[in-house]
Chains A and B, each alone.
Chain A
Amino acid sequence: MVIQSALLRDNVRARGRAGAKPDVEASPRRRRPRFNALTAFWLLIVAILVLPIALFLAVAFSPALLSQGPQWFTLSAFSAALSGHLLLGFVNSLVIGIVTAVSAAIIGFVLAWIVIRTDAPARGIWTGVVFALFLTPSYLIALGWERLLEPNGVLQTLGWDPAGARDLFYGPGGIVIVLTVKGIPFAYLAISNALRGLGHEYEDAVRVHGGGALASMRVVVSLLAPAIWAALAIVFAESVSDFGVASTLANDSHFTVATFELYTAVQAFPVQFPVASAISWVLLIFVVLALWAQSRALKGRSYRVLGGRSRRAVRRRLSKVEKAAVVLGMSLLILIALGVPTFGAVSASLIDGLGSVGGSHSWTLANYARVITSPDLSAPLLYSMQAAVIAASVTTVLAVVCARLLAAGQTSLSSRVLDMVLLAAVALPGIVFAAGYIFAYNLPLTNALGVHLYGTTVLLVLAYIATALPSTSRLLVGSMSQIQNSMLHSSRVHGAGAIFSWFSIVLPVISRPLLNAWLLTFTATLLELPVSQLLAPPGEQPISVGITVTLSKYDFGGGTAMEVLAILTALLVVLAATLIFRLATPRGWRTLGTAK
């Protein structure tokens, strides 16, 4: 009753707003909820993404606005950011971003194809590998390689001096390898989600018309263009904003990249927010260029391939030689991506003094025994897990809305603005977010309005959501853009309500991508560092900060043991969630994307 009267009230208001112009497109009753929900969504996006980013970016022009300098308008931060080795850093970042994006997209596509469309052996483990890769911080991959290749490192201790490999790795080559490895999961998830929704009818059509395997692959690649471009854009943005490699490998090989300069401006004393803000502007321009390329490539085409008539794909049977090649290739990738960093982390935590001329080099569990009983591990891990569960759940829901808006088409203004905001957010390193959040939610004005969010877990979780939302939404765009509205329309024609139709038609189709999105956000949030450092409430310590503090006390063994335990815990959650999905969902939900 209350709801009905509220509806009636809103209806009258909507008519009043319409005034003399009658709405001929749709009745106000149908448009109203969409408008309201959309407004609320945009308000949230402004609050958690646009406002913090905008305030941080404003500091470049007007340091006085946020008490970061005396000038109300100046361009001096830009002249500092665009001179000398800072300028070189931008050029290096741009080139590395492009090379990494292309490499990761190619490898991600090949992997997705092998896992979904062939009968390659051991393809089932790949989802686990992808999440392990998501979880492994880029600096850990870089450090693992450094431990192996450095002068008097593990390989040299074992009797082989890898001088040639060292020269190759300590420089742009190594940086591209590590960033590509970190980009592969993004590319793989974006492309595999879309590939699952692509029926076999298009390839059949090519073959019926006399096309060969190559022509059929070309059709598949062009039909997957939104996902491939999403992969390229996201890997590019992630690469130019990465700090893990910048602070380790790039720094050790004295190769300047933009993010390192940004962190130096923010974390070295005196803190120079205006310079960091100017660097962020340049990173944003990079993203605009990436988006421009993406929209040019996809302009005027439709990629709605997932409808009621989609056919299950057929797995290609590989020959023995092909299977051997696939196993070899995947093993090599796992070795490069996970084997070496695992070795780096595990060796430091399990073997006394490995990789140094000191120490007994014997196996020991002392580091694990020490950190498991330490209060520095359990309470922070529990705190971070709780925050990550909430952040992952809210982010997944919001990401569906974002992905739906983005998939609605590049033609609408709101879709383009959202696209820009989300990719901009990926391109800006976490610390920009974190500082922007302090600027936005610690203003005396905000406090005077009664908003006391800074220094609370609520704001930390909101920032986690904002950090994760861009990449999670982009991963879902590929799947959402495939869904043909005809399926929903038929459901509505047969009398089902909008909500029931969504849950019975759309949810089953995107259930697996949703699970992936949740797991991705959970795992990425659990070990997130910059936002945790600046926004964790006093008295609470997220696990990532605990690990960093331990490492900064030269306790590499203890720090890496904590890291290994945190990653193992997260992998257990991934395993449990996957099992629950398998047991709890109807069989039909899991059939989509599987091949015969």
Chain B
Amino acid sequence: MNVRTRWAALSLAGVALVGLTGCAGAASASSSGSATAAVEPLVLYAAEGFDAVSAKAFTAKTGIPVKLVDDSTGPLLTKIQAEKNNPQWSILWVDGDTAFSSLDQQGLLAPYAAHGSWNAVGKAIIPSDNAYTPTGTTVMSALIYNAAKVTTVPATYQDLLGSAYSGKVGMNDPAQSGPTYPFIAGLMNQLGGQTGGVAAGEAYLTKLKANGLKVFPTNGDTLHALETGQVDYGMIQSSAAIGEVLKVKATANFQPKIVYLPKSTLLPSVIGIDKGASAVQQAEAKKFIDFVVSPEGQAVMLTGDATGDSLFWPVVDDAKSLKDLPAFPAAYQSLDPAFWGPLQSRVVTWFESNIK
């Protein structure tokens, strides 16, 4: 056997070995899943504190591997928009249904009627075409205030225009904080409905600004401003506010408390399936959604981020919530994302130019 023949033989043996291990790998992958159907990894784009534990529990239960892209909502939506002519995701799971409504209008979502025993809140959120599915809800806003410094507590949003609150109220910037546009849209919706809401909301925010409203980038920054005394009242997402009350030990200077002003706007965590994903992935994605709205999946969600995203109110009847979660606000509203979603760009631009 000369050198060339030896190399050729070795290469052949190498190729055969790789081929065999490849087959073995494929065989083990298929044997771990269903005996008949092929298994493809699910690509989960998610911005929830409980996404990693949920993906792990789902894989353990079904054998379907999940590749997680865990980031904030903004970069994930940027990625989806940039991938638009060749989507790479299977499932998107983030807070807020306005973005989902827009994806639905662009024809990017595969509808699915998930097998959940929906409660009244859940039914209020589910769209008629089942384009996406709620998995829990927070509200926007929770008004968190420093009870060690102030005793006056507002009962309505109109109260915040009074002199007692001058220069003491803070909120997030809708251009940077995902939950804040739904909050502003919710204000507009309750002040003037779909016909006169935008004008009424702009008038209200203009008055609030004249009364010294301060705008900070996100929930964390508004909380920091509250902690440092730059404001005494902050309007932020309920999970962030409740988490702050749980995390921070009350002192003589700082004692965070929460009040919900009517009406609280629902800000659900929402999950949807990519219409461009393969049939196998779409079938797996449906299993994933059924898993997270099942009592078992809901219990897993509570373990991911006990002082943050796991502080949600269930949208299904048979699910538990964290013991520290306060009662669900009585006065709430669910926005029509198909109406308010398309107005986001216009409202945020107005806010940036006039309020920030």
Contacts and interface: CB of A to CB of B under 8 A. Distances in A.
Given A438-B83, A549-B70, A269 B344 contact: yes
B69 interface: yes
A496 B99 CA distance: 66
A442 interface: yes
Contact of B217 (A251, A353, A447, A537): A251
Contact of A534 (B82, B253, B309): B82
A67 B43 CA distance: 22
Contact of B75 (A66, A252, A356, A533): A533
Given A271-B77, A442-B88, A455-B88, A556 B220 contact: yes
Nearest to A533: B75
Contacts of B356: 254
Contacts of B78: 266-267, 271, 431, 435, 534
Contact of A152 (B77, B228, B345): B228
**What bracket does the count of chain B residues touching chain A fall in?**
35 or more
Interface string B141-184: 00000000000000000000000000000000111101001000
Contact of A270 (B43, B178, B227, B344): B344
15 contacts: A84-B353, A264-B175, A269-B74, A356-B254, A357-B229, A359-B249, A359-B251, A443-B85, A534-B79, A537-B67, A539-B41, A549-B71, A553-B49, A554-B219, A554-B220
Interface string B47-79: 001000000000000000001111111110111
Nearest to B253: A357
A67 B228 contact: no
Interface stretch (B32-40, B240-248, B319-327): B240-248
A538 B98 CA distance: 25
Interface string B99-124: 10010000000000000000000000
Given A270-B345, A551-B220, A358 B227 contact: yes
Nearest to A535: B79
A538 B227 CA distance: 37
B67 A269 contact: no
A87 to B, nearest CB: 12
Nearest to A431: B78
A355 B344 contact: no
Interface of B: 41, 43-44, 49, 67-75, 77-79, 81-86, 88, 98-99, 102, 173-176, 178, 181, 216-220, 223-224, 227-230, 240, 243-244, 248-249, 251, 253-254, 305, 308-309, 344-345, 348, 352-353, 356
A32 interface: no
Interface string A384-406: 00000000000000000000000
B308 A447 contact: no
B283 to A, nearest CB: 19
Centre residue among A251, A269, A272, A554 by max chain B CB count within 10 A: A269
B228 A355 contact: yes
**What bracket does the count of chain A residues touching chain B fall in?**
35 or more
B72 A552 contact: yes
Given A85-B353, A548-B72, A554-B308, A269 B102 contact: yes
Interface in A513-544: 533-534, 536-539, 541
Contacts of A443: 85-86
Contact of A358 (B43, B74, B248): B248
Contacts of A447: 86
Contacts of B230: 150-152
A247 interface: yes
A286 interface: no
Contacts of A553: 49, 305, 308-309
Interface in A245-287: 247, 251-252, 254, 264, 266-273
A151 B228 contact: yes
A31 B351 CA distance: 62
A358 B219 contact: no
Interface string A12-47: 000000000000000000000000000000000000
A357 B254 contact: yes
A454 interface: yes
The 7 lowest CB-CB distance pairs between A and B, nearest first, are A538-B67, A358-B254, A356-B227, A539-B67, A267-B74, A438-B82, A271-B81
A360 B249 CA distance: 9
Nearest to A251: B217
A247 B41 CA distance: 36
A41 to B, nearest CB: 28
B75 A357 contact: no
A152 B229 contact: yes
B83 A358 contact: no
B228 A438 contact: no
Contact of B81 (A68, A153, A252, A254): A68
Given A273-B81, A538-B69, A554-B223, A356 B175 contact: no
A303 to B, nearest CB: 42
Interface string A541-574: 1000100110111101000000000000000000
B19 to A, nearest CB: 20
Contacts of A357: 227-229, 251, 253-254
Contact of B348 (A66, A152, A268): A268
Interface string A318-332: 000000000000000
A173 interface: no
A554 B243 contact: yes
B220 A552 contact: yes
Contacts of A252: 216-217
B23 to A, nearest CB: 21
Contacts of B83: 438, 442, 454
A357 B244 CA distance: 14
Contacts of A251: 173, 176, 217
A448 B209 CA distance: 54
B79 A356 contact: no
Nearest to B90: A538
B202 to A, nearest CB: 16
Contacts of A353: 227
B50 to A, nearest CB: 11
A247 B217 contact: yes
A150 B244 CA distance: 21
Contact of B176 (A150, A268, A271, A438): A268
Contacts of B75: 267, 533-534
A267 B178 CA distance: 10
A439 interface: yes
A76 B174 CA distance: 24
A545 B81 contact: no
A360 B248 CA distance: 10
A553 B253 CA distance: 24
A270 B155 CA distance: 33
A211 interface: no
A266 B76 CA distance: 11
A212 interface: no
A444 interface: yes
Nearest to A444: B86
Contact of A435 (B44, B82, B175): B82
Given A85-B353, A268-B348, A545 B71 contact: yes
B82 A273 contact: yes
A239 B10 CA distance: 56
B77 A358 contact: no
Centre residue among A353, A442, A541 by max chain B CB count within 10 A: A442
Contacts of A552: 72, 218, 220
Centre residue among B69, B178, B305 by max chain A CB count within 10 A: B69
Contacts of B254: 356-358
A511 B353 CA distance: 52
A459 to B, nearest CB: 12
B69 A536 contact: yes
Contacts of A554: 219-220, 223, 240, 243-244, 308
